[in-house]
Amino acid sequence: MRMFKLTGAAVALMSTTAMVHADGVEVLHWWTSGGEAAALNVLKSDLEGQGVGWTDMPVAGGGGSDAMTVLRARVTAGDPPTAVQMLGFAIQDWAAEGALADLNALAAEQGWDDVVPAALQNFSKHDGSWVSAPVNVHSTNWVWANTAIMEELGLAQPTSWDEFVAAMQAAQDAGYVALAHGGQAWQEATVFDSIAMGVGGPDFYQAAFVDLDPEALGGADMVEAFKRMETLRGFVDDNFSGRDWNLASAMVVNGEALFQIMGDWAKGEFVNAGQTAGKEFQCFRVPGSEGTVTFNSDQFAMFNVTDKDAMGAQVTMASSVMSPEFQVAFNTVKGSVPARTDISDAEFDACGKLGMAQLAEAAASGGLFGSMAHGHANPPAVQNAMYDVITAHFNGEYDAETAASEMVTAVELAQ
């Protein structure tokens, strides 16, 4: 199949009202857990209400790496999906290949430039052109806690690393799993992301994960971050290896575990289980990382297709994703916060309100950083190199000093 670029002029000819009879969209994504599926149904229902069909193409795997492998095969075969869930630098890579449709006309009509934070636009745009529609903002440096266990053990929300460790020790001593975790590279990187920010703060995070400064990558703060990971390794259960993230969340939901360090997509699992923020579960920032937010943003990139109905369905889908009504309906279920800055927090729960407020504060203070673990700090080759070192260390292959040294080498080779 010969692919061509959908120009802004072509998009402009396809009003969203004219496309309600389009055949539909084929959507490649990795939202397969209970909470994620519930959130995705919000988008499916919204599009079906406009006469746009949905062909589901789920590829399980919380980090999305398996989905990206499937995507590469589809594009290579000349048969790309019409829309793909995508993160960070991966969007930029596909745009640089000329594979993504141009959404500029729709973005201009709906004023996306005025309502999407600049930090997200860095990934939604390529060479000044909109190539994807951001669905949400997830922040990754969260702890999720079981309220009943905290009350049983007389624990307050920890505000320092030492208090955090003491709380986990109390839970372990009482026979609970202190830290629910799934032994997968992206999950270890998610935990490490937050721990590193808590150790060295914004300047260290910028130098190490964004600027890729060898001195920061191999320095004292990096060694301390790895030492803290060794401490956390002592609080996970023996069956952690290979566990999916949502099953780790279920351990906290079901009262088996005290804490989980995970992005706010985990909240969707608590909500899907009928629990309420501030009651059955609690949310707080990883101690030491308060005042900063490490984020990722799920976006839907629209791939170049030749079928005119498919093109129209893409425009309808992008328009729906960016509507304020959808942003509220989706994010209250997903656990994330809207990708637009003009939306009230009135319909969000306690964790949602906290997340929206802290995101705004971090953006204003310079404390908003794209997550290394989720493809928003550096390109995929570097990210994967960091994954390898972090997970090897977590599994006992390196001590902290060796891991920091290996991080320098791995990043150098990946660039």
**pLDDT tens across 219-262, in order?**
999 999 999 999 999 999 999 999 999 999 999 999 999 999 99
pLDDT at 23: 65
Q: What are the angstrom distances between the C-alpha of 22 and each of 7, 25, 122, 312, 314?
A: 19, 9, 30, 6, 9
pLDDT band at 284 (very low <50, low <70, confident <90, very high): very high
Q: Is the pLDDT of residue 346 over 80?
A: yes
Q: Is the pLDDT of residue 29 over 70?
A: yes
CA pair distance 82, 86, nearest whole angstrom: 13
CA dihedral 222, 223, 228, 232 (to 10 degrees): 100
Least confident range of 254-258, 349-353, 363-367, 370-374 = 363-367
Q: Output the 3-class SS for 392-411.
A: HHHCCCCCHHHHHHHHHHHH
Q: Is the pLDDT of residue 16 over 80?
A: no
Q: Is the pLDDT of residue 11 over 60?
A: no
pTM score, whole prediction:
0.86
Q: Is the pLDDT of residue 5 over 50?
A: no
Q: Tell me the residue type at 324.
A: P
pLDDT band at 300 (very low <50, low <70, confident <90, very high): very high
Specify the CATH superfamily of domain 8-138+295-351: Periplasmic binding protein-like II (3.40.190.10)
CA pair distance 175, 193, nearest whole angstrom: 28
pLDDT at 65: 84
Domain chopping of the chain, boundaries: 8-138+295-351, 140-294+364-414
Q: Is the pLDDT of residue 15 over 60?
A: no
- pLDDT for 135-188, tens place per residue? 999 999 999 999 999 999 999 999 999 999 999 999 999 999 999 999 999 999
Residues 193 and 219: beta-carbon distance below 8 Å? no
Residue 155: DSSP 8-state: P
pLDDT at 397: 98
Specify the CATH superfamily of domain 140-294+364-414: Periplasmic binding protein-like II (3.40.190.10)
- pLDDT for 84-141, tens place per residue? 999 999 999 999 999 999 999 999 999 999 999 888 999 999 999 999 999 999 999 9
The shares of helix, strand and coil residues in the chain, as percent rounded to the nearest 5, are: 50, 15, 35
**Contacts of 384 by beta carbon, 8 Å cutoff, 6+ apart:** 414
Residues 299 and 91: beta-carbon distance below 8 Å? yes
Q: Is the pLDDT of residue 374 over 70?
A: yes
Q: Is the pLDDT of residue 14 over 70?
A: no
pLDDT over 90 for what percent of the chain? 86
Say what angle helices 34-48 and 308-322 make with each other, to 10 degrees: 120
**Do 8-138+295-351 and 140-294+364-414 have matching folds?**
yes
pLDDT at 22: 44
pLDDT at 64: 85
Q: What is the mean pLDDT of the chain?
A: 92
